[in-house]
Amino acid sequence: METWLGVTWEKWYSGFQLIQKDKKVSLTRLRKMFTVRLVCLDANKHRDRIIDEADTHDKG
């Protein structure tokens, strides 16, 4: 599906030729959904800490 090469969105490489803006927006949305699912998996040993940090950041 995707190849994770780093932390920022600039480092994602999917092999898609993204010429049109709507394609870029759609792919960015899919990347965010994919990242959220990975973070929230029960198998992720850092899940609770990440969610707590996100809640703290959201409140601040």
Higher pLDDT, 21 or 6: 21
State the pTM of this model: 0.52
Cβ–Cβ < 8 Å for 2, 12: yes
DSSP notation for 1-60: --B---SSGGG-B------SHHHHHHHHHHHHHHHHHHHT-TT-TTHHHHHHHHHHHHH-
Render pLDDT for 33-42 as a digit per residue (tens, 0 to 9).
998 898 888 9
Cα separation, 2 vs 26, in Å, equals 14
Cβ–Cβ < 8 Å for 31, 25: no
